Amino acid sequence: TTQSKEALPKSMVLNRAQMAEKLGISDSTLYKRISQAKEEFDPPVIECDGQKWQYIDNPKGKGKVFRIQT
């Protein structure tokens, strides 16, 4: 079955604070990584636990979220 973007499991989408916690770094360090990633990828991609996460506009509301690349 194909899932729409909105139907992704919660674990597939993280906000910035959750991603910083998952990586074990501060929010400001994560912000720097996002800025560096923007120079290579649009949307920026952050790697965590061997998986790539895109930093995209939140499909469910305001702000941006990390969504796992499948």
| Full domain range(s) for residue 48 | 5-68
Q: What per-residue confidence (pLDDT) applies to 6?
A: 52
Q: Would you give per-residue pLDDT tens digits along the chain (70 residues)?
A: 444 445 555 578 999 999 999 999 999 999 999 999 999 999 999 999 899 999 999 988 899 999 998 7
For the full predicted model, state whether its pTM sits above 0.75.
yes
Q: What per-residue confidence (pLDDT) applies to 35?
A: 98
Cβ within 8 Å of residue 43, ≥6 positions away? 54, 55, 56
Task: Please tell me the total count of domains within the chain.
Answer: 1
d(CA 7, CA 47) in angstroms, rounded, equals 23
Q: What per-residue confidence (pLDDT) applies to 14?
A: 95
CATH number for position 38:
1.10.10
